[in-house]
Structure formats: C-alpha cells, structure tokens
Amino acid sequence: MSKPTLHYFDVSGRGELSKLICAVGGIEIDIVEYPFQANGASVADKLKAGKLESAHTTAATKMGMEGCGLPILVHGDLKICQSAAVQDYFCAIGPNYPKVTPAQKAVDDMFEGYFEDIMGLAAGVILSGGDAANVPIFMSKVLTHLSKYINSDGFVNGYDTPSKADLVILVLTQALIPFGATLGEGAEACYGKFPEAVALGERAAAYPAVAEWLKNDLCNLKKPPKAARE
Ligand SMILES: N[C@@H](CCC(=O)N[C@@H](CS)C(=O)NCC(=O)O)C(=O)O
C-alpha cells in the first residue's frame, strides 16, 4: 500500500501530534500543507461565521470530505478526519510504537482528550476572539491533573519509547500555535509551575526518532504559519 497522506495546516495545531506519533512509530508519511485559515475554532463559531472558501476546504471537497476540518488522513481506501481517529490509527500501525495495554491506552487517551479540550480553547483565542486570560488558567488545570501521571524520569507508560501521553505533553509545553502564542509573555510563569511536565516534554523531544523529526522542514512545532515566516 502507498504511504499515508496527512493533510493539515502549516502550523502545529492538531496535526503535529500525528506527525510525532509517526516519527516514534517509524511510519513514513506524505504531508500536504495548507495555509492556516479557519472561520472559528468551535462548531458554534464556525456555523456563525458561515461557509469558508479556502485552499483546505476546496481540497477537502475534492477528496469527498466536504465540510470536514483538518487533519484529514488518506491511506489506501481509508479516508478519515477527526484528529483522535487519525492519531489512534497511526499508533496502531506504527511498528515501533509501544504495544500499550488497554489500561495504558486509556491513560494515553485521557491525555489526548485534555489536549483536544485545550486546543479548542486556545485556538478560539486566535480564531474567534476568545479571552486569552483563560489559556493559562485552563493550561494549569490540565497540567495539574496530568502531572499526577508523570514520573520524575522515564515515560508515562513506563516504556523506553514515548507514547501518546508523552507526545501530548511535548506539544502542550513546546508548541507555538496555539499554546505559546496565546500564553505569550505568561508562558514562562505558567509552565514554570509544572517542572515535571516540562522535563517530560524535553525527554520526549530528546528521544532519537522525535529529535530527528523536530529537525524536519515539515515539523511545525515552534513555527508560525508559513505566511508569517521570514
Ligand atoms: N474535532 C476535530 C476538529 C477539526 C478542526 O476544527 N480542525 C481545524 C484545524 S485544527 C480546522 O480544520 N479548521 C478549519 C475548518 O474547519 O475548516 C478534530 O479533532 O479533528
């Protein structure tokens, strides 16, 4: 079968976690990038703003995925959207991804669920005029809870290899869009309260396959949208 193709914007957002999972799992993917353009973060905001005509909506329609947000994954006959579905598919097919038990997967999924919650909040600040003051409050709430599952060394599920939980923490503590950008000058104070989470993000970033990915031109973890790059 041909390589999976991941369609996403030219920012970290919801796409980077899938790319990190592929790096850990040893999956080669093709990536198609679109200029970061959206008419809101929540379903309510998108419905209020009305239909968006853009490169990604046109491409989605051409793929038979009209009205679907990104990421979109195409692999052979499989064509899906929804980031959690895409992420889990990559976890399942990656030969090097840790073989997590149901309990370990449940922990991973909990991290992923919080990631989606705070993604919606922080993206809403960038896209729909949401209140940036809420981001450090909710980031602190999320990291307070997730830190209970973080050890002072190693990865959350106890493998030598990071799984979804560790990669979520890497993105939560290091991504520019939407977290660094919305925390702004308050980022240091916010993350400073969670040294174990920050250290886990750094451990995950230092894992060889991840470290290699972070050097890839298509890694957007710390980059602004292409239009804003020099
Ligand atoms: N619940 C969906 C949300 C998808 C979503 O809203 N994606 C954003 C980018 S992160 C998007 O494509 N926005 C533009 C649009 O919906 O056209 C998921 O987890 O994938």
Cα–ligand 1 centroid distance for 158 (angstroms): 32
The rounded distance, in Å, linking the Cα atoms of 207 and 212 is: 9
DSSP 141: H
Q: What is the Cα–Cα distance from 67 to 174, expressed in whole angstroms?
A: 30
Region(s) of the chain under CATH 1.20.1050.130: 102-207
Distance 179 CA to ligand 1 centre (A): 16
Q: Residue 212 C-alpha to ligand 1 middle, in angstroms?
A: 27
Tens-binned pLDDT, residue by residue, of the chain (230 aa): 899 999 999 999 999 999 999 999 999 999 999 999 888 888 998 898 888 899 999 999 999 999 999 999 999 999 999 999 999 999 999 999 999 999 999 999 999 999 999 999 999 999 999 999 999 999 999 999 999 999 999 999 999 999 999 999 999 999 999 999 999 999 999 999 999 999 999 999 999 999 999 999 999 999 999 999 97
- Could you give the residue range(s) of every CATH 3.40.30.10 domain in the chain? 5-95+217-228
- Predicted local distance difference test score (pLDDT) of residue 52: 85
| CATH class name, domain 102-207 | mainly alpha
User: C-alpha angle with apex 37: 12 to 142, nearest 5 degrees?
Assistant: 40
| Pocket of ligand 1 contains residue 12 by CB under 6 Å | no
Residue 22: what pLDDT?
98
Tell me the CATH architecture of domain 5-95+217-228. 3-Layer(aba) Sandwich (3.40)
Please give the pLDDT value at position 41: 87
